[in-house]
Amino acid sequence: MDDHASLARRGAARFLIGLLAALCLAVPVLAGPGEKPEEKDEAARAAKVAKKVARALEKARKAEEEPVEADRRALRKFHEEVMEYAELHDKQVARLGKPVAVDAQDCFAAQRALARSIQSKRVTARQGDIFAPAVEPIFRRLIAVELRGPDGLPARQAILEGNPGEEKPSVPVVVRVNGEYPIGAARSTVPPSVLLTLPPLPASLEYRFVGRDLILLDSVAQLIVDFLPAAAPNRPIK
């Protein structure tokens, strides 16, 4: 999940490590017994340089590893929040009982009942509860990588297919947490290249685009669980 900035940081860190290691090798060997006063001074200076080099090496190592570990923590937290929602979904399905779809009207009624049940348990849900600030840049970076350049043209075109935010749809979609995705509204295509890059989701959830926003959709209850504004970069389709 490296981008140009992280690669540059790592390159700079490796350069610093190499430079400081070379300085360390250039430090004179500490003098032994019977050393002259000037040799003692030189040995003391060498010891100070060695300590500074060690501290700088450790700082460079941590600077190189910190972005990667921060991404891991953010993705772990995202996974935990997703699984917490999936558990809530399953509990509400079990509480309502498995509906037997006799006809389309019965199926619609069961979906609405599940949506209402989940909404009642998430009355305080807000944007960013799952797409937390720490994970937002990771998603934007992953999506941007798959959409950029000539190779990303098919993916950019696919996102527009059925995207209710790109044209005036017959059934508009209002992107808000706990909002229902209207029955009959168009649904965007999420390119396989993007899906394979993003964190996997449990069976009840899926990624969809509405305009440039990435939504987390409960495909059973037809609820917008959370969304990431402007997740897709504003790139021309050409």
Structure confidence by residue, pLDDT tens digits, 137-146? 999 999 999 9
Give the total number of structural domains in the chain: 1
Whether 148 is in a domain gets the answer yes
Query: Which residues is 206 bridged to in the sheet?
Result: 217
Q: CA-to-CA distance for 49 and 17, rounded, in angstroms?
A: 14
Whether 84 is in a domain gets the answer no
Whether 51 is in a domain gets the answer no
Whether 162 is in a domain gets the answer yes
The pLDDT, as a whole number, for residue 30 is: 45
Whether 14 is in a domain gets the answer no
Whether 210 is in a domain gets the answer yes
Whether 131 is in a domain gets the answer yes
Q: CA-to-CA distance for 23 and 13, rounded, in angstroms?
A: 15
Sign of CA dihedral 77, 82, 85, 87: negative
Residues of the chain with pLDDT under 70: 1-41, 43, 46, 48-67, 98-106, 166-167, 169, 235-238
Q: Which domain holds residue 171?
A: 99-228
* Cα separation values, 198 from 82, 151, 154, 162, Å: 13, 18, 18, 20
Q: CA-to-CA distance for 122 and 97, rounded, in angstroms?
A: 20
The pLDDT, as a whole number, for residue 91 is: 94
* pLDDT per position as a tens digit, 34-43: 556 666 667 6
Structure tokens at 103: 């006809």
Whether pTM exceeds 0.85: no
Q: At what angle do helices 37-96 and 136-147 cross, to 10 degrees?
A: 90
Whether 178 is in a domain gets the answer yes
The pLDDT, as a whole number, for residue 107 is: 77
Q: Match 């706990």 to its residue by tokens.
A: 178
| DSSP helix, strand, coil percent of the chain (3-state; round to 5) | 55, 10, 35
